[in-house]
Structure 1
Amino acid sequence: MRSTSPRSPDEELAAFVADIGDDDLPPELVRRAERAFVDTVGVTVAGAVEGAGAIAVETTRAIGDGGPASLIGVPGGASVTDAAFANGTAGHGLDFDDVTRGVWHPSVPMVAPILALAEAEGLSGRRAVTAYVAGYEAQCYLADALLPEHYERGWHATATFGTVGAAVACAVLLDVGEEAARHAVNAAASMPAGLKKNFGTTTKPMHAGHAARSGLTAALLAARGHTAAAGALGTDRGFLDLYAGERVHPDAMARLGEGWALDRDGIQVKKYPCCYFTHPAVYATQRLVDTHGVDPRDVESVRVRASQGAADALHYDDPASGLEAKFSMPYTVAAAAVRDRVGLEAFDDDSVGNPEVQAVRERVVFEVDPDLAYEPYHTNVAIETTGGETYERTQERPPGTPSDPLSDEELAAKFRMCVARADADIDADAAYRRLDALSGQSSVARVLEVL
């Protein structure tokens, strides 16, 4: 790999696309990427049969007549762009997909178009892995310039960063060369959208599907001669300028080729299928209940203190649906106090009104700690019982972070749980083995056969 020098963002990304090769990736990066494919495909299978994912699949079938790319987890195929949209939406539909820096979901807007394009083009698993790493690096490159202000302003970074990440990944797969890659990322700069205001609805997962399709479309167009303005990704009325304004940090961006963001930041695999800002509180609550033998019927009150970032993402104190419950601190904490496991079933619509959970939810108070930065994991939970005891725990990080990753066994168990949720005729163990060794697979199409 080369060592970078300062360039405009579009020049930097285009040179990176043209330069990255399969042999450039250290083994540990390849392994992280394979785990990301395992996790993302698993949650896509589960998400394809309900909610936003099922609607996206149904709509894709209604407007198309099949195609060379698989609809993951369900029968049939579609065009590569339609499959990217449907699979990307399904992958984010349950909010069970991975996270980075605690802010956005990097894998789902990339895995869907990578698999669709690699399947259609007859490409190998190793090439898919390289494309994933390139797209991840591109997303973090933008994040260095835009966070935290971009997220604070109300943008859903999965949609905005994900669109450019998908364009970069697909440009790598298509081997378009530096000039076309530059047009691809500059075209992609016109496509990002996604508002945090839509969290808790089926529009939020659609953001990921739209990003997947848009990034793929930009790369496909550029490969055929489509053009875009030089600098459209930059600070002069470009993407960086308009999506962060005066608070952009372009000096933080010159990192491509100097190290790997996938190594530095890593992937956070979700243990619970809900907004990541709830995870420290869920884990802390379960530990307090288990350690001290707290009976949910004896809970007098629960106080949760977390960051303003959590408050901005968690819109629903009294959720009326499973989707809203995923973005509710009171509900997720109550579910953690009552249930042995906060799994997929906790967010079924029928589960939200559970009387035991509701009795605790009404006693949960969520407060913003003004001394916390916008996006930390740091969360404090204090449970007071009717007997006058108070149990308190501060959780610095949720499970599943790079410093406390899910084991291979836990990841496999999550994959099998997702496949079982879909109730599909899928050999979960065979699918897991192929994805878990994706870099050694000669054909992505063969990997997807069992899905």
Structure 2
Amino acid sequence: MDVTATLARYVVSAPADSVPENVRREAVRSFLNWMGCAVGGSRHETVDIALAAISPFAGKPQAAVLGRGERLDIMHAALLNGISSHVFDFDDTHLRTIIHPAGPIASAILSMAQLKPVSGRDFLHAFILGVEVECRIGNAVYPAHYDIGWHITGTAGVFGAAAAAGKLLGLNEQQMIWALGIAGTQSSGFREMFGTMCKSFHPGRAAQNGLLAAHLAERGFTSSNRVLEAPRGFAHVMSTERNFDEITKGLGDSFEIALNTYKPFACGIVIHPIIDGCVQLRNEFGLKADEIERIDLEVDPLVLELTGKKTPQVGLEGKFSVYHSAAVAIIDGKAGEEEYSDSRVRDPQVVTLRDKVHAVASNTIAEDECHVTVTLSDGRVLKKHVEHAIGSLARPMSNADLDAKFSGLADPVLGAGAAARLRDLCWNIEKLEDVAVLATAAVPAA
């Protein structure tokens, strides 16, 4: 099976006009969401530390660190923007694989586009193809690859970044095969890192490594021609199960980005049904924390596997605590970045209610479903069944929802006027003659 060659051939030969309008529209939504997350996350401590560590060793100032005034070489800018876009855990999600598709790809090619002029039409096409590569490879090895501990956004994302960058560089088929091979040999990221700064490092590194892979391949740097399918290649080494048809069948007929979803809550996607149910109960019954005796959750097993942290100590850990998330959903009626700050995780009222949350796993519950039962001190029992969480494919976020989310993230960094201008540029990306204007608009005024 020539899986790698088939995928490379498709990326190299696929024309922009072969992509349906609805797919391009979803790609625009995906990019807009990514930009809001990258700008919004740019002032997080994780980004501060990474920038301080990297700056002394960075090359020429070629590309912007979004949401900030610093400029770095394109490789390090891709790394920083990938970190920034994921640090809030607020970015897009391909639900079938739990890949966050945009981070590795957009971070790589927007940095690159500031050195090599790219039209909005070509940029969006490369972005779509990168997501296709990333998610199809993810489909081929999920869930076994994820179950043994790999963070699939990092491991699959590096392929997408390489493919998208390679498309913009105009790589031929052999060069694209090499780019995928160079990307694959750098594929990494462990789920053990969830709740730490390293989780957002994964898509940043995938962006940087994929961008490097494409540039190395352009110069004739070789790799195996069978990185995906070889017995000692990606799928066999990094997964206990694999289905290569998921990579090659229907290329150009269906597009994974059409299945992308967007988070209304700044935490692990599997917690979203619980937050949704708790917020609904809070609003329907005017619930107060001090009148609650107990909160019982019936959830998909993956919820406890990924987000079973009962006593988070910092905000990043709170994003992987279903207990903390249920508590702030009841107390605050929301779960944005403020609800996952270090101070909120340690707040005595939140801790008290968090200790009253009990969760059990059920194999009959879907990943975007849950049952929430709240028992009050007066004996009343309130129940809510969330069949599909808000933000899922069944209950998608509208364009207006994405606008509001973007403003909430970008306004505090850029100011409302500048954020609105950036938002409008993102919505109209296909009309741009040079997408570098997006990076310029994403930098605060001096």
Which TM-score tier does this pair reach, normalised by the shorter chain?
over 0.9
Query: Which residue in 1 is equivalent to 2:400?
Result: 409
**How do residues 1-400 of structure 1 correspond to structure 2 at under 5 angstroms?**
7-101=1-95, 103-245=98-240, 247-262=241-256, 266-372=259-365, 376-400=367-391
Greater mean alpha carbon deviation, residues 31-40 or residues 197-206: 31-40
CA distance in 1, matches of 2:197, 2:335: 21
Inter-CA distance 99–121: structure 2 relative to 1 (3 Å threshold): same
Q: CA deviation at 1:66?
A: 4.0
Q: Shift of residue 380 of structure 1?
A: 1.6
State the Cα deviation string for residues 66-98 of structure 1 (Å, max 9, x = none).
422111110131111111001001111111111
How far apart are the structure 2 equivalents of 1:193 and 1:405? 31
Superposed CA deviations along residues 360-392 of structure 1, whole A, max 9, x for unmatched, are 11100121114446xx22222111111111122
Q: Deviations over 1:272-298 (max 9, x none)?
A: 111111111000111112122322211
Letter in 2 for 1:257: L
Check the 8 A contact 1:272/1:343 in 2, yes or no. Answer: yes
Match of 2:379, as an amino acid?
A: G
CA distance in 2, matches of 1:256, 1:171: 22
Give distance in 2, aligned partners of 1:258 and 1:80.
Answer: 30
Kindly provide the CA deviation profile for residues 315-363 of structure 1, in whole angstroms up to 9, marking residues without a partner as x: 4111111111010000000000000322211111111122322221110
Give the match's secondary structure for 1:121.
coil
Contact 2:99/2:135, CA 8 A, preserved across alignment: no
- Equivalent residue, structure 1, for 2:426: 435
**What are the Cα deviations for residues 219-260 of structure 1, in whole angstroms up to 9, with x where unaligned?**
110011111012122141110001113x22224333242522
RMSD in angstroms over aligned alpha carbons?
A: 1.7
CA distance, structure 1, for counterparts of residue 273 and residue 416 of structure 2: 35
Which is worse superposed, 328-337 or 296-305?
A: 296-305
**Deviation larger for 337-346 or 81-90:** 337-346
Counterpart AA for 1:332 = S
Inter-CA distance 300–202: structure 2 relative to 1 (3 Å threshold):
same
Work out whether residues 56 and 85 of structure 1, in 8 Å CA contact, stay in contact via their aligned partners in 2: no
CA distance in 2, matches of 1:308, 1:25: 37
Task: Give the conservation status (yes or no) of the 8 Å contact 1:95–1:274.
Answer: yes
Q: What TM-score results when the alignment is normalised by the length of structure 1?
A: 0.94
Work out the CA distance in 1 between the residues paired with 2:383 and 2:47.
38
Secondary structure of 1:427's aligned partner: helix
Greater CA deviation, 217-226 or 67-76? 67-76
Residue 446 of structure 1 pairs with residue 437 of structure 2: yes
**Which one-letter code corresponds to 2:380 in the other structure?**
E
What stretches of structure 2 of length at least 5 have no aligned partner? Answer: none
Tell me, in whole angstroms, the C-alpha distance in 1 between the residues paired with 2:315 and 2:257.
Answer: 34
User: Aligned partners of 1:12, 1:242: CA distance in 2, in Å?
Assistant: 20
Q: Is the 8 A contact 2:300 2:362 kept in 1?
A: yes
Amino acid at match of 1:339: D
d(CA) in 1 for partners of 2:267, 2:402: 17
Higher mean displacement: 179-188 or 417-426: 417-426
Q: Measured at CA, do residues 434 and 105 of structure 1 come closer, stay the same or move farther in structure 2, by a change above 3 Å? A: same
Q: Which amino acid in structure 2 is aligned with residue 32 of structure 1?
A: E
Query: Cα distance 1:310–1:320, how it changes in 2: closer, same or farther (>3 A)?
Result: same
Residue range with higher mean Cα deviation, 418-427 or 434-443: 418-427
CA distance in 1, matches of 2:230, 2:330: 47
State which drifts further: 253-262 or 351-360.
Answer: 253-262
Distance (Å, rounded) in 2 between the aligned partners of 1:287 and 1:123: 45
Letter in 1 for 2:330: A
Whether the 8 Å contact between 2:99 and 2:138 is mirrored in structure 1 is no
CA 1:66–1:351 in 2, change beyond 3 Å: closer, same or farther?
farther
CA-CA distance at 1:263 after TM superposition = 5.7
Contact 2:152 2:189 in 1 (8 A): yes
Partner of 1:420: 411
CA deviation string 1:149-194 (max 9, x = no partner): 1111111010011011111111111111111001110111101111
In structure 2, the residue matched to 1:4 is: none
In 2, the alpha carbon distance for the partners of 1:313 and 1:169 equals 30
- Would the alpha carbon gap of residues 423 and 446 (structure 1) be closer, same or farther in structure 2, given more than 3 Å must change? closer
- Give the stretch that moved more between structures: 403-412 or 154-163: 403-412
Q: Secondary structure at the match of 1:186?
A: helix
How many residues were matched structurally? 441
Q: 1:349 to 1:395 in 2, by over 3 A?
A: same
Distance, in Å, in 1 between the alignment partners of 2:354 and 2:283 is 18
> For the structure 1 residues 65 and 192, does the alpha-carbon distance in structure 2 shift closer, same or farther, using more than 3 Å as the test?
closer
- Does the CA contact (< 8 Å) of 1:60 and 1:86 recur in 2? no
Whole-Å separation in 1 of the counterparts to 2:373 and 2:128: 40
Equivalent residue number for residue 3 of structure 1: none
> Displacement of 1:423 after TM fit?
5.9
Contact 2:308 / 2:323 at 8 angstroms: preserved in 1? no
